[in-house]
Amino acid sequence: MHKKIKIGIVGCGAVGTSLAKAIKADFPLSARIASLCDIEKNRADSLSQKISGNNSLAVLNIRSLISRSKLVIECASSLCSWDIAKEALNRGRDIMIMSAGGLISRLPALTKLADKHAARVYIPSGAISGIDALKAAKVSGIKSITLTTRKHPLSFKGVKYIKEKRIALDKIRGEKILFSGAASEAVKYFPQNINVAAVLSMAGIGENKTRVRIIADNRVKRNIHEIRIVSKAGDIITRTENLLHPDNPKTSYLAVLAAVATLKQIFEPVRIGT
Ligand SMILES: NC(=O)c1ccc[n+]([C@@H]2O[C@H](COP(=O)([O-])OP(=O)(O)OC[C@H]3O[C@@H](n4cnc5c(N)ncnc54)[C@H](O)[C@@H]3O)[C@@H](O)[C@H]2O)c1
């Protein structure tokens, strides 16, 4: 039998907690949680209690987490995901990144670093569908990619761009286009859309060529992402209607499940799909 892969989780919030529980429940023979870290140390302590019954998995910093892990899972923040990736890869560890927004425009550097240290980087597709077909179509050549995100107006409450444009969210009836432009601009103004736009850009034609439209629509209850890809192999159109995570209304349920499915691909010998 193979040795269990030792996993370290950085960020013990909603996603980190869900993943730690899933790793324990779904992959008991392939992996074990070896280390947990959070800038709020009590969160790492509390998750360690839930997973192992004591505080022994909680460490004070990322350096000690990396030394105890073979695979590091980042689920902390896009402000630190690039630094964590660099540190883990420099020490030959594999890494799975949830805060994909922190990697935008850094794919070449990330690839170089992983190659130099013979390590792997995993970036789950998150709350969107179609990354599999996009990867295949990219082999022939992509002409254009457009992401249209549609959410209830109140989902944009507190967004700086909305305040600056003086958009009255509570007065929107039907649909209102809030933003239309390059993914590189969209991620600056709509940080809560950052991971979806970053994953799509990195898998496809980059953040400057990927187009993004963000729509507020008071008729929808779900977070809806539509993707339209025009390629030399034909057109690909996907629509994902996301329900919110039962434990965390900020996160799409599918995004957490996509991370669990990525782990499954890492652990299992047969890989189905692109
Ligand atoms: N790729 C996707 O589809 C996807 C989906 C959901 C969430 N995310 C991303 O995953 C990350 C976690 O999401 P969440 O819902 O669990 O957020 P959360 O706020 O519930 O948890 C984040 C945790 O990380 C900790 N943290 C922040 N900075 C840290 C640092 N420098 N070092 C250690 N710990 C740190 C916080 O204290 C907190 O406990 C976010 O960046 C979010 O954008 C990505």
* Domains of the chain, residue spans: 5-123+253-267, 131-242
CATH fold, domain 131-242, is: Dihydrodipicolinate Reductase; domain 2 (3.30.360)
Mean pLDDT, range 22-40, rounded to an integer: 96
Structure tokens at 142: 């992509």
CATH architecture of 5-123+253-267: 3-Layer(aba) Sandwich (3.40)
pLDDT at 103 over 80: yes
In percent, the amount of the chain with pLDDT more than 90 equals 89
The residue whose CA is least distant from atom 40 of ligand 1 is 77
pLDDT at 54 over 80: yes
Considering only 11-15, 154-158, 246-250, which range has the smallest mean pLDDT? 246-250
The CA 10 to ligand 1 mean position distance, Å, reads 8
Distances (CA, A) of 86 to 40, 129, 145, 172: 22, 28, 29, 43
Burial call 70-94: b when 16+ CB within 10 Å, e when fewer:
bbbbbbbbbebbbebbebbbeeebb
55 Ramachandran zone, left/alpha/beta (phi>0; psi -120 to 50): alpha
pLDDT of residue 90: 98
- pTM of this structure: 0.95
Between the two ends of the chain, the Cα-to-Cα distance in Å is 27
Find out whether the beta carbon of 16 lies less than 6 Å from any atom of ligand 1: yes
Structure tokens at 259: 């991370």
Q: 211 with 182: CB under 8 angstroms?
A: yes
pLDDT of residue 1: 57
pLDDT digits (tens, 9 = 90+) for 115-156: 999 999 999 999 999 999 999 999 999 999 999 999 999 989
pLDDT of residue 236: 98
Helix runs in 103-146, H state only: 107-116, 131-140
Catalytic positions, please?
Answer: 225
Rounded to whole angstroms, the Cα distance separating 89 from 76 reads: 17
Residues 6+ apart with CB under 8 A from 3: none
Find out whether the beta carbon of 250 lies less than 6 Å from any atom of ligand 1: yes
Mean pLDDT, range 193-202, rounded to an integer: 92
Distances (CA, A) of 23 to 165, 198, 261: 43, 25, 11
pLDDT of residue 259: 97
Average pLDDT of the chain is 95
Amino acid at 260: V
Rounded to whole angstroms, the Cα distance separating 204 from 134 reads: 7
Confidence of residue 265 (pLDDT cuts 50, 70, 90): very high
Find out whether the beta carbon of 84 lies less than 6 Å from any atom of ligand 1: no
Indicate the helix (H) or strand (E) that contains 9. Answer: strand 5-10
pLDDT of residue 71: 98
Rounded to whole angstroms, the Cα distance separating 127 from 168 reads: 27
Find out whether the beta carbon of 40 lies less than 6 Å from any atom of ligand 1: yes
Q: 51 with 70: CB under 8 angstroms?
A: no
The residue whose CA is least distant from atom 3 of ligand 1 is 126
Find out whether the beta carbon of 52 lies less than 6 Å from any atom of ligand 1: no
Closest CA to 23 of 32, 15, 14: 32
For residue 121, the cross-strand partners are 95
Nearest ligand 1 atom to the CA of 196 is 3
